[in-house]
Amino acid sequence: MSLNSNKKTKKSKLLLTLCAMLLFGFILNVGRAQQMQIDSLTNALNESIKTVQTSKYIYEQKIESPQSCILKYSVTNIDNKGKTTNNVYELNIADIDPNIVRQQTSGDMIYVQIVMDKNQKMIKVSKNGKLQPYISSIKIIAEDINNARHLRDLIKKANNPKSIFEYVADTEKLKSR
């Protein structure tokens, strides 16, 4: 009887090990797929973000993803006298409230406002390399209204990675026409 129970124990351990390995492999694949989606979003945003000139400033912008689900938006403001201010904002994509992402205008500037879920102060800010208090919203400056709509749509889809791929693929099809 003990030989038979020993075989059952070995089979159980083997089965448990196999299940753990499959689960680990699944988790790794999900992580890779998620990073690919973030990279796709980051690339699409970088292609859409332009250097924008208004009557008072030139805004040089870029977006990168230093780690999974984190977006880092950098904007350098250059005034008419050549004085520069470099602002860097870091946020987690999962914290964006997609229902409040919208394009807006103010004077001669068009921008897309991104607000965190429940208006929480979750955006890390640094100004000229110095850490500032966290904030609950940022504005990405758009070149024109069509650019603002495109940026808005990309950001709204950030919480749904599958829709990012679909939107980016549709955008690429339109560009190739």
Summarize pLDDT for 37-96 with one digit per residue, the tens.
667 777 788 788 889 998 889 999 998 888 877 889 999 999 999 999 999 999 988 888
Residue 133 burial (CB count, 10 A): 8
Instruction: Tell me the per-residue pLDDT of 105-123, one tens digit each, with 9 for 90 and over.
Output: 988 899 999 999 899 999 9
Residue 96: both structure tokens together: 């964006």
pLDDT of residue 124: 96
**Distance between CA atoms of residues 6 and 91, nearest Å:** 53
Query: Which residue type is seen at 53?
Result: Q
Pick from 84, 98, 88, 99: which is nearest to 66 by CA?
Answer: 88
pLDDT (tens digit, 9 = 90+) per residue, 22-31? 666 555 444 4
CB 70 within 8 A of CB 92: yes
Can you give the residue ranges of every domain in the chain? Answer: 39-176
